Amino acid sequence: MMNPPEYNVTGIDYSRREHFVYRGPIIDIHAHVTLTRPADAPAGKEPASIGQAESMLQTGREFGIVHTTSMCPPEDIAPLRERFGGKLTFNGPISKKTFDEQDDAAYGLLERFLQAGVKIIKYWSAPRGRERGLFVDAPWRMECTRRAIAAGIRIFMVHVADPDVWFGKVYADSAKFGTKTDQYAGLERMLQLFPNVTWIGAHMGGDSEHPDHLEALLEKHPNLCFDTSATKWQVREVSPRRAAIRSLVCRYPDRFLFGTDLVTRHELVREHYVSRYWCQRTLWESSWEEPSPIADPDYTPQEGGAPTPILRGVGLPLDVLDQVYYANAERLLGMT
């Protein structure tokens, strides 16, 4: 007997959408729409395909997504913009490939993204990036921020920290990776150094496990917002804290943005994209309470319990959903 696919381990019918109460447009502020190639294709030997981008965005439209902000290589921007026009804006991720790579490589990458017309700059600063010097407040990233601001960029996205469960497994060596608390020192420094631009903390600021910490950050830094991306993580950790998360979002409705973190990959089937859009909307706008249909390797089932975490809908009010799903991103992206 074959194992069920990761995108539907419970066999749910994804056409069940009667619990979707929101009828307006949605902006996905956090996605990775790229050209794709087969994983085993020799470099430069296989033409890039736009097919997965078409599949993702068409599926998104079925779930109300009218606009997506994509992180992709700079060379993908022109063909994606030609094909999809105003349905996409772009976010330029600035990193280094190795610890010893020269700062000029990052500055050159930034310039390519700026010339391509991105609206957001992204700093990936997960603990596993420390070996490559990918601290959010590294001096070369500070310089990138100054240059980006001078060029007109007013939005920066940051990935800091990772799920709590990873700090007991992947990051158990705190001398190497730091504690979870350690991850936020650099972010707060950047928030203080650059107060006149907006900072988006990806994946619920990397800490949906601790709504009190998220609130403290919002209170201290008026230039900080969070996006809802990383579906498995949010389903697993928001669900058991839905009352606290609901209260938090309702108190700061202008500081949260809808995002999926969906990534185009060459062999993905449409149902993979369906599963993430369906779970995100179910989580934020319904009172749903059933096992998540998506396989989650970071979840440890209770003895005799469901193999996936229980997806418990937060049930945000419609006026709050309108801000989180659309109005906040519309304002930040200058679409009004």
In the prediction, which pLDDT does 305 show?
85
**For the chain, what is the domain count?**
1
Is residue 319 domain-resident?
Answer: yes
pLDDT tens across 125-179, in order? 999 999 999 999 999 999 999 999 999 999 999 999 999 999 999 999 999 999 9
Is residue 143 domain-resident?
Answer: yes
Contact in structure between 224 and 199 (CB atoms under 8 Å): yes
Domain that residue 219 falls in: 26-36+46-332
In the prediction, which pLDDT does 303 show?
86
In the prediction, which pLDDT does 243 show?
98
Mean pLDDT of 282-305: 95
Is residue 116 domain-resident?
Answer: yes
Distance CA 157, CA 120 (A): 7
Is residue 277 domain-resident?
Answer: yes
Angle 200-90-222 from CA coordinates, rounded to 5°: 20
Determine the angle formed by the axes of helices 51-62 and 74-84, rounding to 10 degrees: 50
In the prediction, which pLDDT does 325 show?
98
pLDDT bin (cut points 50, 70, 90) of residue 336 is confident
Is residue 3 domain-resident?
Answer: no
Is residue 92 domain-resident?
Answer: yes
The DSSP code sequence of 54-93 is HHHHHHHHHTTEEEEEEE--HHHHHHHHHHHGGGEEEEEE
Residues 6 or more apart whose Cβ sits within 8 Å of residue 140: 96, 103, 106, 107
Mean pLDDT of 56-71: 98
In the prediction, which pLDDT does 2 show?
73
Distance CA 294, CA 279 (A): 8
In the prediction, which pLDDT does 131 show?
93
In the prediction, which pLDDT does 41 show?
63
Identity of residue 192 = Q
Is residue 15 domain-resident?
Answer: no
Q: What's the CATH code of the domain at 51?
A: 3.20.20.140
pLDDT tens across 210-227, in order? 999 999 999 999 999 999
Mean pLDDT of 242-249: 98
Is residue 250 domain-resident?
Answer: yes
In the prediction, which pLDDT does 25 show?
98
